[in-house]
């Protein structure tokens, strides 16, 4: 099984987080994950609505960018890859930031 690197909570960096969210596709992915986490729904890579509009390879690239920035956690579950938003880590590291960005995204 591939080993997936996730930065620790302490290593989350503000410019890196902003850079990762500075792309329309990634922003939508994070918004979908936030919505899923509110309804305690589990998401796998192929569940994303935004995935219908972009190539699979593009989506993989964006998942990697989000994971390496520390926004999402990716855990292999058999043949699926479960994806969760690292909401708690982000909230502890940068209180209120992600929620503010998501709210701004919804109101745009």
Q: By the criterion CB under 8 A, which residues form the site for a copy of itself?
A: 14-24, 26-27, 94-97, 100-101, 104-105, 108
User: At closest approach, how far in Å is the CB of 74 from a copy of itself?
Assistant: 21
User: At closest approach, how far in Å is the CB of 24 from a copy of itself?
Assistant: 5
**61 vs 82 by CB, closer to a copy of itself:** 61
Give the length of the chain.
108
**39 vs 107 by CB, closer to a copy of itself:** 107
**77 vs 107 by CB, closer to a copy of itself:** 107
User: At closest approach, how far in Å is the CB of 52 from a copy of itself?
Assistant: 19
Nearest to 50 by CA among 66, 30, 36, 34: 30
Nearest to 84 by CA among 98, 73, 93, 97: 73
Nearest to 10 by CA among 103, 96, 86: 86
For residues 83 and 43, the answer to whether their CB atoms sit within 8 Å is yes
């Amino acid at each position: 099984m591939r080993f997936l690197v996730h930065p620790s909570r302490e290593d989350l960096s503000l410019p890196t987080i902003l850079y990762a969210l500075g792309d329309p596709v990634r922003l939508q992915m994070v918004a979908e994950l936030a919505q899923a986490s509110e309804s305690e729904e589990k998401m796998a890579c192929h569940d994303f609505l935004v995935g219908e509009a972009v190539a699979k390879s593009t989506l993989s690239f964006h998942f990697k960018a989000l994971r390496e920035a520390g926004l999402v956690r990716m855990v292999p579950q058999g043949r699926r890859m479960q994806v969760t938003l690292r909401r708690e880590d982000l909230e502890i590291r940068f209180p209120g930031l992600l929620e503010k960005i998501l709210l701004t995204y919804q109101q745009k």
